[in-house]
Structure 1
Amino acid sequence: MQELDRKLGTLLSDVARFRRILFDQLASEYGLTHVQVFVLNNLHRQDGLTQTELSARMDIGTVTVSGLVDRLEAKGYVERRPDENDRRAKRVWLTPRMQDMWKKIGDSLHQLNEVTFDGVEEAELDQMVTTLRKARKNLQNRLNGKDT
């Protein structure tokens, strides 16, 4: 377990960091960053979130989200609309222009996964996904005050 303690965190961090760097390179062709795609993906899962809701889902500050939304709005990918129940709040919605971009983002993600898992057998990949899902669930349970 001591070997695991010393290397696992660094390994997971490195893989995530290298994937972000490569995805930024791939997405730059479309004028996007991985963080902007993260915003778009959250809206794709649930369109019409407030900036506060986006901030909570992404675990980043509302000022940062506001800047990201500003840039995405300037590119025509999202638009802010008033909240029907709270006149102080604005909701963020994907625009029709995003429909064309989803294919490009999907192609970049596919390319990223091909590079990441080159030489990895399907069974190894399936086992890794199963293991990481268990680890994620354990961490979520602990953070929510539940025993794992």
Structure 2
Amino acid sequence: MKCHKEDAPLLGLMGQSMRLIGKRAQELYAEYDLNRAQSGILFALHQEDSMSQKELAKRLNVTPPSITSMIKKMEQEGYITRKADEQDQRVMRLTLAQKGRDSIAYVIKTAEKLEEKVFEGMSAEEKMLFRRLLLQILENLE
């Protein structure tokens, strides 16, 4: 039995949509040898300038250990730098390295391109309503 999109449950549609958005994002970011998670790290560091791994994990809604290997890889590839916090030497501060700063415009442009594709054919009012509904979902789940 095949389920038609029109008959699918809302959560099923959300899941399918997120998988397709993730797949499209992966294709777009691969052009700069990045993945979605790495681009999220770059964007977060661009907005905050400097963050600890714990702060970054909280911002991205993941556990600190889950991004450890990604941070190491991004440091090795020259996207980010790690240095000890001046007030607390036990805390490592993450910042964008030059390669990370150079690539942030691409990350933002790619995100805008993806958002444009995702919301193609929707009015400004529909997008605002969708935003409000997503914020309500987040509030319900937090």
Identify the TM-score tier after normalising by the shorter chain: 0.7 to 0.9
Give the TM-score normalised by the residue count of structure 1. 0.79
Once the two structures are superposed, residues 1-60 of structure 1 have per-residue CA deviations (whole angstroms, 9 ceiling, x without a partner) of xxxxx7121222222221111101100000100011111222223232211222233233
Indicate the SS of the match to 1:30: coil
Any gaps of 5 or more consecutive residues in structure 2? Answer: 1-7
Corresponding residue number in structure 1 for 2:136: 134
**Which whole-Å CA distance do the structure 2 matches of 1:58 and 1:125 have between them?**
23
How much has 1:81 moved relative to structure 2? 0.6
Structure 1 pair 82–44 and aligned structure 2 pair: CA distance change class (3 A): same
Q: Check if 1:41 corresponds to 2:43.
A: yes
Once the two structures are superposed, residues 68-89 of structure 1 have per-residue CA deviations (whole angstroms, 9 ceiling, x without a partner) of 1111112211100111222222
Any gaps of 5 or more consecutive residues in structure 1? Answer: 1-5, 141-148
Amino acid at match of 1:74: Q
Moved over 4 A (4+): none
Corresponding residue number in structure 1 for 2:33: 31
Once the two structures are superposed, residues 98-120 of structure 1 have per-residue CA deviations (whole angstroms, 9 ceiling, x without a partner) of 33212211221122122212222
Amino acid at match of 1:60: V
- Aligned-residue RMSD, C-alpha: 1.9
Corresponding residue number in structure 1 for 2:64: 62
Give the TM-score normalised by the residue count of structure 2. 0.82
Output aligned runs, 1:111-130, within 5 Å: 111-130=113-132
Pick aligned residue for 1:51 from 50, 53, 63: 53
